[in-house]
Amino acid sequence: MKNLKLIAKKMVSEGKGILAADESTPTCTKRFESVKVESNASSRNRYRSTLLTTKNLEQYISGVILFDETFHQNIIGLTKTIPSYLKDKGVLTGIKVDTGAKPFAQHKNEKITEGLDDLRERLITYKNKGADFAKWRAVITIDKEIPSESCIYANAHALARYASLCQENNIVPIVEPEVLMEGEHGIEQCYKVTSQTLKIVFEQLKLLKIDLESMILKPNMILPGLHSTENPSDKVIAEMTFTCLKDNVPEEVPGIAFLSGGQSSDLAAQRLNTLNRLYFNKKPWQLTFSYGRALQQEALIKWANQSDEESQNELINRAKMNHLASIGKL
Ligand code: 13P
């Protein structure tokens, strides 16, 4: 476990965060459609190669989460696999190992994340080919009668079983229970559901004897729903997010790396900055980013419409902003 603790610490080392570039093929296709680019293995390879060869990315990014397809591809024009390219840059390789959120039987509008079948074998292969950490995303939806307690428990238990298999195979698990922003709910409701979810997740992690020092938590911030009429300040968001985490996340966890979840790139950076400005010296864990859209959105547009170079400039700019936000100096 000693090595795992070191990797977990490195993932959230001061001033650094994680780039989530692990969109599944359907999600990546949706993103490409929005910029009118055809999505196939070769275009996805070109896009990801552009992102990952950004000069000095390693100054702000400790690790990159990949999807299975990318994990096995080479950087365009090089004979190296992407994990070995990242390793040479001093960047850790992560792999998304869940197989997606599927309808939860007999629970209308709720999802359960799958992927436990064959997970041990897949983790062994990924480890042998250079994976340092993994990711599993559970989604919790807020609506009139949901989430149900059963949905939270089932997802939390799956997260714990995944984390246990990761640690057995020397891979640091990113545990991601995402309370979705979609909906009309207010910020109080997000607070309540996220609190309940985190409480149950840590209960299940402890039950399965997960080493909390060898994992990273990837939660949502506490926010009103996308279609809510509320408009809280960044300070209120930071206060509620910090209180929720302080009450539910054990101090042994080395780092909390937020997902962006549909916030704009600017807001995601600003809110992380406010959190660190207010709590940098009061928090037991590192508070950083593991953003997908909030790091890539502008870079994807430039890649599709302008040039690789412009795209890389956008990515490094966003990475730097979030580096500053992760130390409260944006
Ligand atoms: P977003 O930052 O776009 O929400 O993606 C993060 C992620 O990895 C979701 O699983």
Query: Whole-angstrom Cα distance, residue 109 to residue 38?
Result: 31
CA atoms within 13 Å, Cβ hemisphere of 106: 2
291 Cβ below 6 A of ligand 1: yes
**How many Å lie between the centroid of ligand 1 and the Cα of residue 20?**
6
| Residue of 239, 237, 174 whose CA lies nearest to 201 | 174
**Rounded to the nearest 5 degrees, what angle is found at the Cα of 157, between the Cα atoms of 62 and 204?**
80
296 Cβ below 6 A of ligand 1: no
Both tokens assigned to 222: 């506490």
94 Cβ below 6 A of ligand 1: no
**How many Å lie between the centroid of ligand 1 and the Cα of residue 133?**
16
Regions of the chain with pLDDT less than 50: none
Query: Whole-angstrom Cα distance, residue 292 to residue 51?
Result: 12
Number of H helices, E strands in the chain: 12, 10
pLDDT of residue 54: 98
- Domains of the chain as residue ranges with CATH: 2-325 (3.20.20.70)
Residue whose Cα lies nearest atom 10 of ligand 1: it is 137
Provide the residue type at 140 as one letter. I
pLDDT of residue 2: 65
pLDDT of residue 313: 98
Other Cβ atoms closer than 10 A to 129? 14
Residue whose Cα lies nearest atom 9 of ligand 1: it is 259
ω into 177 cis (within 30 of 0): no
Which residues pair with residue 136 across a beta bridge?
Answer: 175
Which atom of ligand 1 is found nearest the CA of 293? 3
Task: Give residue-wise pLDDT tens across range 245-271.
Answer: 999 999 999 999 999 999 999 999 999
Question: Would you say 174 and 224 are in contact if contact means Cβ atoms under 8 Å apart?
Answer: no
Sole residue written with tokens 């559970």: 138
Q: Which residues are catalytic?
A: 176, 218
Question: Would you say 173 and 145 are in contact if contact means Cβ atoms under 8 Å apart?
Answer: no
3-state secondary structure of 149: helix
Question: Would you say 102 and 110 are in contact if contact means Cβ atoms under 8 Å apart?
Answer: no
**How many Å lie between the centroid of ligand 1 and the Cα of residue 292?**
4
| Residue of 44, 65, 64 whose CA lies nearest to 54 | 64
Provide the residue type at 185 as one letter. H
pLDDT of residue 1: 59
The pTM assigned to this predicted structure is 0.98
177 Cβ below 6 A of ligand 1: no
The CB-based long-range contact list for 272-277 (8 Å cut-off, 24+ gap) reads 272/322, 272/325, 272/326, 273/324, 273/325, 273/328, 273/329, 273/330, 274/234, 274/235, 274/237, 274/238, 275/221, 275/238, 275/241, 275/242, 275/328, 276/325, 276/326, 276/327, 276/328, 277/328
292 Cβ below 6 A of ligand 1: yes
Residue whose Cα lies nearest atom 4 of ligand 1: it is 261
pLDDT of residue 251: 98
318 Cβ below 6 A of ligand 1: no
**How many Å lie between the centroid of ligand 1 and the Cα of residue 123?**
21
Task: Give residue-wise pLDDT tens across range 160-181.
Answer: 999 999 999 999 999 999 999 9
